[in-house]
């Protein structure tokens, strides 16, 4: 079955696992992201996108790698780039 290939613009969190001054903490902001890949799931909760499809995993159907589950509320826009028999 053909799967959509998309470009997703979305917002992700920023995280610093180190000491910050008040000034540095105030400057921390969410990150604008772009993800390209094959749509695995698209519903009200999330848009799941895989960036890599392994077509020759012995004894298995296609194996999807580099998969992200983007919360639907974080998605700014989706551009369809085509379809793939993946």
Structure confidence by residue, pLDDT tens digits, 75-86: 999 999 999 887
Domain that holds residue 49: 3-84
Instruction: Provide the pLDDT confidence category of residue 61 given band limits of 50, 70 and 90.
Output: confident
Q: Quick one: residue 24, left, alpha or beta (phi over 0 = left, psi -120 to 50 = alpha)? A: alpha
Instruction: Provide the pLDDT confidence category of residue 70 given band limits of 50, 70 and 90.
Output: very high
Asked if the model's pLDDT at residue 60 lies above 90, the reply is no
User: Structurally, how many domains does the chain consist of?
Assistant: 1
d(CA 31, CA 23): 18
């Amino acid at each position: 079955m053909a799967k959509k290939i998309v470009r997703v613009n979305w917002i992700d969190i920023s995280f610093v696992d180190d000491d910050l001054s008040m000034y540095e903490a105030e400057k921390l902001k969410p990150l604008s992201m772009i993800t390209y890949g094959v749509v695995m799931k698209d519903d009200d909760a999330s848009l799941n996108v895989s960036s890599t499809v392994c077509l020759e995993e012995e004894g298995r159907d296609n194996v999807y790698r580099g998969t992200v589950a983007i919360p639907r509320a974080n998605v700014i826009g989706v551009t369809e780039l085509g379809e793939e028999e993946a």
